[in-house]
Chains A and B, each alone.
Chain A
Amino acid sequence: MGCSLRIWPILVAGTLGALLAGQAFSATYILTVAGLGGEPDYEQRFTALATDIDKIMKTGGQTDRIVETLKGPDATRAKMEAALNRIAGQAKPADAFVLMMIGHGTFDGEEYKFNLPGPDISAPELAALLNRIPAGRQLVVDMTSASGGATAALKKDNRTIITATKSGTEKNATVFARFWVDALRDPAADTDKNETISALEAFTYADKKTAQFYTEQKHLATEHPQVDDQQHAAAFPLLKFGAATAAITDPAKRELAAKKDDIEGKIDALKYQKDLMAPDEYKRQLTALLIELARTQQELDK
Chain B
Amino acid sequence: MTTNIQVNRWDRRFRLSGVLSVAILLACCLSASAQTLERAKALSKAHDYDGANNAFKALIAANPRNAEDRVEWGNLFYERFNPGEAQNLYTEALGIDPKNAHALLGLAQLAADGYDGKANELAEQALASDPKLYQAHELMAKVALEDDNQQKATEQADAALAIEPTALTAIAVKASIDLLADKQSPWVAKINNRGEGYATVAHFYMINRRYEESIDYYRKAIAATPDLWAAHSQLGLNLMRLGREQEALKELSLAYDNHYRDAATANSLTLIDSYKKFDTFRTPTTILKLNKKEEDILRPYFQTELDKIIATYEKKYKYKLAGPVQVEVYPDHEDFAVRTMGMPGLGALGVTFNSVIAMDSPSGRAPGSFHWASTLWHEMSHVYVLNLTNDRVPRWFTEGLAVHEETAVSPDWGDRLSPDIINAIHEKKLLPVADIDRGFVHPTYPSQVIVSYYEAGKICDYISQRWGEGKLLDMIHEFAKNRPTVDVIKEQLGMEPAAFDKDFMAMIDKETASTVAGFNEWTKGVRELSQLTKDGKTDEVIAKGRAIEKLYPDYVEKANVYEFVADACLKKNDKACAMDELGRYSKIGGRDPDTVKEYAKLLEDAGKFKEAAAALERLNYIYPLDAELHERLGGLLLKNGDTKDAVREYQALVAMHPIDVAGSHYDLAKAYQANGQKDQAREEAISALEAAPDYRPAQKLLLEVTN
Contacts and interface: CB of A to CB of B under 8 A. Distances in A.
Nearest to B706: A291
Nearest to B365: A218
Interface residues of B, number: 24
Given A287-B686, A290-B686, A193 B692 contact: yes
Pick the most buried of A189, A204, A205, A216: most chain B CB atoms within 10 A of its CB.
Answer: A216
A205 B689 CA distance: 19
B299 to A, nearest CB: 20
Contact of A191 (B365, B660, B686): B660
Interface stretch (A31-39, A100-108, A292-300): A292-300
A110 to B, nearest CB: 35
22 contacts: A187-B663, A188-B659, A191-B662, A191-B692, A192-B662, A192-B692, A193-B663, A193-B694, A204-B659, A209-B659, A264-B693, A264-B694, A271-B690, A290-B689, A290-B693, A290-B699, A291-B706, A294-B700, A294-B703, A297-B694, A298-B699, A301-B696
Contact of B686 (A190, A192, A286): A286
Interface in B279-312: none
Nearest to A264: B693
Interface in A161-196: 187-194
Contacts of B690: 271, 286, 290
A189 B660 contact: yes
A4 interface: no
Given A189-B659, A291-B706, A293-B699, A216 B693 contact: no
A191 B659 CA distance: 7
A290 B660 CA distance: 19
Given A188-B663, A218-B366, A286-B686, A291 B692 contact: no
Contacts of A293: 689, 693-694, 699
B686 A208 contact: no
B526 to A, nearest CB: 19
Contacts of B660: 187-191
B659 A208 contact: yes
Contact of B367 (A193, A205, A208, A216): A216
B303 to A, nearest CB: 24
Nearest to B696: A297
Contact of B699 (A192, A208, A216, A294): A294
A249 interface: no
Pick the most buried of A192, A205, A217, A271: most chain B CB atoms within 10 A of its CB.
Answer: A192
Contacts of B693: 264, 267, 290, 293
Nearest to B368: A216
Nearest to B698: A193
Given A291-B706, A293-B699, A297-B696, 16 more contacts: A188-B658, A191-B663, A192-B662, A192-B694, A194-B692, A194-B694, A204-B659, A264-B693, A283-B686, A290-B690, A291-B703, A293-B689, A293-B693, A294-B699, A294-B703, A295-B703
B699 to A, nearest CB: 4
B366 A217 contact: yes
B661 interface: yes
A283 to B, nearest CB: 8
B702 interface: yes
B10 interface: no
Nearest to A192: B692
Pick the most buried of B366, B694, B703, B706: most chain A CB atoms within 10 A of its CB.
Answer: B694
Instruction: State the 5 A-B residue pairs at the shortest beta-carbon distance, nearest first.
Output: A294-B699, A188-B660, A193-B695, A193-B692, A290-B689
Interface in B650-688: 658-663, 686
A14 to B, nearest CB: 14
Contacts of B659: 188-189, 191, 204-205, 208-209
A37 B689 CA distance: 44
B370 to A, nearest CB: 11
A179 to B, nearest CB: 10
B625 to A, nearest CB: 8
Contacts of B189: none
